[in-house]
Each structure stands twice: as structure tokens, then as C-alpha cells.
Amino acid sequence: MEAGTKLRKVAIADDSPAFLAAAANYIATIPGFMLAGIASTPPQTLALVESAAPDVLLLDLGMAPKRGLELVQQVKASPAAPAIVALALFETPEALAAAKRAGADELVAKESFISGLAQVLGRLFPAVS
């Protein structure tokens, strides 16, 4: 990476500790990106977005107790909202449509997280990839 190139900050919100750990480890390996932080509850997610000002938020749509779609809407209501990549167990047309209606920029299935996230980050930040 060239000197002076800005690292894009990625925040992850998921209520699965195992997925959070794996996703955080993967983000650390992607050139041009850095981990901004992790959250496992909706209140932690909102606080993380406010304090870390990530460029992108990976957000589990199944996060409890609030459904992830409602959390997408809350995050997107912020004036400095990050891009949101919704995470679902499987990528279906219905999940993609619901995520887009809520305000998510992209959807990645957890079943294909590594390849799917690489493609999505390339679309969201073409100069970095």
C-alpha cells in the first residue's frame, strides 16, 4: 500500500462470539482495511458506529433482541452513517430485498463470507481493492 493511503475502517456487529472472532481475524488480513471494533448487541453497535466512525459496518441481520433490519435503519439514520454490509446465513433474493429496503448497501451470506466479502468490498471501495 502506498504511503498516505487511508485504511478503510471495518466494524463488525454479530451476536456470535465465534463468528466475531473469525471475521475480525479475516479483516486483519485484507490489504487496505483495518478493524475498527466489534459489537455483540444493538446498543454496542450504535455506540461503536458513533465512536469509531467506521467506513463500513458488517451487520448480522439475525442479531437479537432487535432484528438486524431495524438496526440497519437506525444506523443509516445517522448523518455520518457507514456503508452497511448485511450478513445473513444464506443469500436469498428475499434476504437481499429486505436488506436493501432497510438501507443496507450490500448483503453477504455467512456461508460464503470470505469470497462474498472480498467482492462486496471491491464494489464499495474500488480504489482500495
pLDDT in the model for residue 57: 98
pLDDT in the model for residue 91: 85
Q: Mind listing the pLDDT tens digit for each residue in 102-126? A: 999 999 999 999 999 999 999 999 8
Q: Return left, alpha or beta for 4; rule: phi > 0 is left, psi -120 to 50 is alpha, else beta.
A: left
pLDDT in the model for residue 1: 45
Q: Domain limits of the chain?
A: 8-124
pLDDT in the model for residue 68: 85
pLDDT in the model for residue 66: 58
Q: Is 14 helix (H, G, I), strand (E, B) or coil?
A: coil
Q: Is 107 exposed, middle or buried (0-12, 13-18, 19+ CB in 10 A)?
A: buried
* Three-point CA angle 26, 32, 33, nearest 5°: 45
95 or 39, higher pLDDT: 39
Q: Mind listing the pLDDT tens digit for each residue in 39-92? A: 999 999 999 999 999 999 999 998 865 578 899 999 999 888 999 999 998 888
Tabulate helix, strand, coil % of the chain (nearest 5): 45, 20, 35
With respect to CATH, is domain 8-124 assigned 3.40.50.2300?
yes
What whole-number distance in Å separates Cα of residue 118 and Cα of residue 47?
26
pTM of the model: 0.92
- Name residue 100's amino acid: K
